Chain A
């Protein structure tokens, strides 16, 4: 019986993995509880400075999916890089800090009330809160 439950749980987990949502998170201590996808996109494009964006490293499939779905353009990565280059070389803003691991990103977001991040929904815990869920494309 126990083996069956474990198998069912594993199956459920793998199904969840395959259809995992990307969630946008802030620290549990943040005063922000909900943000529109438009504002999140503006934050990640460097247009709005409401929160400090944290990124997953380049090459991450979650990152690619996040930008493509949120900004809704095939060339989202190029356009975003272009935008941040303007701010970085103006000496006005630092480019989003990049994290190799989703767990580290969650820890960093939890520690900074001004930060915003995104991860695969399987990585979240009680130190952060979800303010938006990026649905997989049909």
Chain B
């Protein structure tokens, strides 16, 4: 995990504030809390693995998998004064490799400038989706996991930088807004991806049971890997430097627009989101969407969901003719532009059971229909959808 300037800045601010406190002052208030999921997932195929996000390189297959959804996180907030606080979250979950990894998805210093307005410096959840902030908190969600067709589109969870949070109540409307600026770094398999000048804003308006959210995110995106660089070099050397330059994902523009809503009635629950992603270089542009409907009957909430991702950019490139010795290169180009994102849709049905005030148990069945390999991990020759996925999850907060 790279240490960014923003995170360093947060540490320095924290130290300064701690150091400036009066000697012998009482211990500051500290809040401890946490959340976690114990999960199990199994599919009906041994020829590919079902992943929860792009940042997992192994997933569930017909042997069953307890690592897909299982995670545990703990969070501490130190209240230094009425104005200043610092928060850190530590999470253990499957990331990149097959094993569990300890991460720090949240680490920031916060100043509450007024009752309605606060500023945070450090690392916080990259707020691109409606539920980015709590997508890993199973207990706060009806489903077992966020639909990969939408939530898999962005491989970053956290942003290093600063943000401004504002909330107000105007009559029956509760409004909250956020604006952020920063950068992200991630290493996925052999690829280093990063965004710079990553900024965005979102606003949520709540009226009674209905919430509407709109968000926008823009950045300069870079994705570096040896294999891609070799391919681009070969394309250039074969006499197609313009194509190589167009496919090179170095400081290319990336934009993400997301609209979401939720209707949270006493019994009936409806939640949906639509997102449009445009990217430069070889990275595909796509739209993703889902609709979730649930109905609470006492402690039980049966629910159903439909999610899909559709690639909107060209899936083939004909710049290099598929003739003679150029065939491998032409195929390589087409493989590259299909390497991120995929057409896929999933229908799900499940049941949430609220066991206690802070514990729930869920069972979910998904029918995942990929086009080709879709969003599946490690596909083997002969892999073909649709794939059935069965999941159990025990979620808790403390």
Q: A residues bordering B, Cβ < 8 Å?
A: 38-39, 42, 47-50, 52, 58, 72-75, 77-78, 81-82, 85-86, 88-92, 94-95, 114
Given contacts A73-B266, A95-B33, A114-B115, contact A89 B169 (CB under 8 A): no
- Residues 115-145 of B, flagged 1 when their CB comes within 8 A of A and 0 if not, give 1100010001100000101101101100000
| B31 adjacent to A94 (CB under 8 Å) | yes
Complex CA gap A86/B133 in Å reads 7
Complex CA gap A82/B125 in Å reads 18
| B165 adjacent to A92 (CB under 8 Å) | yes
| A85 adjacent to B116 (CB under 8 Å) | no
Given contacts A42-B174, A85-B140, contact A91 B125 (CB under 8 A): yes
A47 is contacted by which of B116, B206, B299 (Cβ under 8 Å)? B206
Q: Kindly list chain A residues whose C-beta atoms are within 8 Å of the C-beta of B296.
A: 75
Residue of B nearest to A74 (CB): B298
Complex CA gap A86/B127 in Å reads 13
| A82 adjacent to B139 (CB under 8 Å) | yes
Q: Kindly list chain A residues whose C-beta atoms are within 8 Å of the C-beta of B108.
A: 91
Query: Is B4 among interface residues, defined by CB-CB distance under 8 A?
Result: no
Query: Is B250 among interface residues, defined by CB-CB distance under 8 A?
Result: no
A82-B139, A86-B134, A91-B124 are known contacts; what are 12 more A-B pairs with Cβ within 8 Å? A48-B169, A58-B357, A73-B266, A78-B357, A86-B137, A86-B140, A89-B35, A89-B75, A89-B136, A90-B133, A91-B77, A94-B31
Q: Kindly list chain B residues whose C-beta atoms are within 8 Å of the C-beta of A92.
A: 133, 165
Query: Is B106 among interface residues, defined by CB-CB distance under 8 A?
Result: yes
| B169 adjacent to A49 (CB under 8 Å) | yes
Per DSSP, chain A at the interface is: loop
Q: Kindly list chain A residues whose C-beta atoms are within 8 Å of the C-beta of B73.
A: 89
| B134 adjacent to A85 (CB under 8 Å) | yes
Smallest beta-carbon distance B324→chain A, Å: 56
Question: What are 20 A-to-B residue pairs whose CB atoms are below 8 Å?
Answer: A42-B174, A47-B174, A49-B167, A49-B169, A49-B176, A58-B357, A82-B139, A85-B137, A85-B140, A86-B131, A88-B75, A89-B73, A90-B134, A91-B89, A91-B106, A91-B108, A91-B124, A91-B133, A94-B79, A114-B115
Q: Kindly list chain A residues whose C-beta atoms are within 8 Å of the C-beta of B77.
A: 91, 94
Given contacts A75-B299, A90-B125, A94-B77, contact A82 B140 (CB under 8 A): yes
Query: Is B110 among interface residues, defined by CB-CB distance under 8 A?
Result: yes
Q: Kindly list chain B residues whose C-beta atoms are within 8 Å of the C-beta of A114.
A: 115
A85 is contacted by which of B35, B79, B167, B176 (Cβ under 8 Å)? B35
Smallest beta-carbon distance B373→chain A, Å: 33
| B299 adjacent to A81 (CB under 8 Å) | no
Complex CA gap A50/B108 in Å reads 24
Smallest beta-carbon distance B360→chain A, Å: 8
Residue of A nearest to B116 (CB): A49
Q: Kindly list chain B residues whose C-beta atoms are within 8 Å of the C-beta of A50.
A: 169
Complex CA gap A81/B139 in Å reads 9
Query: Is B168 among interface residues, defined by CB-CB distance under 8 A?
Result: yes
Smallest beta-carbon distance B32→chain A, Å: 11
Q: Kindly list chain B residues whose C-beta atoms are within 8 Å of the C-beta of A42.
A: 169, 174
Q: Kindly list chain B residues whose C-beta atoms are within 8 Å of the C-beta of A88.
A: 33, 75
Query: Is B369 among interface residues, defined by CB-CB distance under 8 A?
Result: no
- Residues 2-45 of B, flagged 1 when their CB comes within 8 A of A and 0 if not, give 00000000000000000000000000000101010000000000
| B354 adjacent to A75 (CB under 8 Å) | yes
Smallest beta-carbon distance B103→chain A, Å: 14
Smallest beta-carbon distance A55→chain B, Å: 13
Query: Is B293 among interface residues, defined by CB-CB distance under 8 A?
Result: no
Smallest beta-carbon distance B238→chain A, Å: 49
Q: Which of B106, B125, B140 has the most CB of A within 10 A?
A: B140
7 shortest A-B CB distances, which residue pairs? A90-B133, A49-B167, A48-B169, A86-B134, A85-B140, A48-B174, A47-B174
